[in-house]
Chains A and B, each alone.
Chain A
């Protein structure tokens, strides 16, 4: 079952074929956009956002299907339209040429209803996978951008060790790192600082008994 509201472009210069194919696609629950020729198909496919899927007729006056495909594939997008070429050409050489021009699949005309819907379903699955991958890549890139901030040159105060942040404020090392990396700090003291700071304080407070530190 195809995902609802996916947009399918139906491009065919033959009004009879266009009407039948559009009705099949609509019946399956997709939203349909129509194009009467190759030029209109190219306009629809270069829109933003472009249709998710397309059924593109091979033989159209002006721009034919493979030429429309070549133009579409020249523009690299994160989620390219899944294009099924519709053709009555059944010679292997034609099918190979269509796939090489950038088609994801092809269907011979006149389109069989069941086959058309099954192939559109495959297209919908591929597009969903592609979108999930594109989302994941985007999230990873965002995470990577944060890591880079930490790897940059940090202005640090030589005396109190405060760090100057991107907005020109000085903040504690702990604040800066937890804001930029998600690192959390647990406060403690090292053995040298114990001897230098903690022990004298404890010695000065004999009446309070042994160490209260962590």
Chain B
């Protein structure tokens, strides 16, 4: 089965966490993701280039968690592969796998920006009724 870039069901369930009269939680989470992840990718790329498997494993593990939280399925999968390779000490694999993670983030970022700009209509609108 094809792994989606961004699981809309997860986005919808995050949006539903918004409290009446409060800012949209989905907006907050996605903005946090876009602000936080690039610096972690940078650190990850450096660790991979330096062959520091432990740092790569830790960074990939944490990225896997963040990706899972917003339903970024493909990034989650690639980060898991990178973490596994790092834990098994496959140093020659690290650079290529870290690069795959970086490329997936670029694709994901543009999709997230679309969601943030409201271009995505398959998401339930924020409700302040309950």
Question: Which A positions have Cβ atoms within 8 angstroms of B?
Answer: 13-17, 19-20, 23-24, 26-27, 59, 88, 109-110, 113
Tell me the minimal C-beta distance from A175 to chain B in angstroms.
Answer: 60
- Closest partner residue, chain B, to A60 (CB atom): B62
CB distance from A205 to the nearest CB of B (A): 85
Q: Is the CB of B64 within 8 A of A88?
A: yes
Per-residue interface assignment for chain B, residues 20 to 41, with 1 indicating a CB less than 8 Å from any chain A CB and 0 otherwise: 0000010011001100100000
Contact of B19 among A15, A27, A88, A109 (CB under 8 A): A27
Interface pair A19/B65, CB less than 8 Å apart: no
Q: Tell me if B6 is interfacial: C-beta within 8 Å of chain A.
A: no
Q: Is the CB of A15 within 8 A of B64?
A: no
Residues on A with C-beta less than 8 A from B58 are 59
Judge whether B29 and A19 touch: CB under 8 Å.
yes
CA–CA, A23 to B66, complex, Å? 15
User: B36 — which chain A residues lie within 8 A by C-beta?
Assistant: 14-16
Report the contact-size class of chain B (Cβ under 8 Å from the partner): 20 to 34
On whether A23 and B17 interact (CB within 8 A), knowing A14-B65, A16-B29, A16-B33, the answer reads yes
Grouping DSSP codes into helix (H, G, I), strand (E, B) and loop, the B interface class, with mixed when no group exceeds half, is helix
Instruction: Report which of A14, A27, A59, A113 forms a contact with B66, defined as CB distance below 8 A.
Output: A14
A113–B16 Cα distance when bound, in Å, is 11
CB distance from B128 to the nearest CB of A (A): 13
**Chain A at the B interface: mostly helix, strand, loop or mixed?**
helix
B69 contacts across to A, CB distance below 8 A:
14, 16-17, 20, 109-110
A110–B19 contact, CB under 8 A?
A: no
| B108 beta carbon closer than 8 Å to chain A | no
Q: A23-B17, A26-B19, A110-B65 known; A16 and B70 CB under 8 Å?
A: yes
15 contacts between A and B (CB under 8 A): A14-B62, A14-B69, A15-B32, A16-B32, A16-B65, A16-B66, A19-B28, A19-B32, A20-B70, A23-B18, A23-B28, A27-B19, A88-B65, A109-B65, A109-B69
Smallest beta-carbon distance B30→chain A, Å? 9
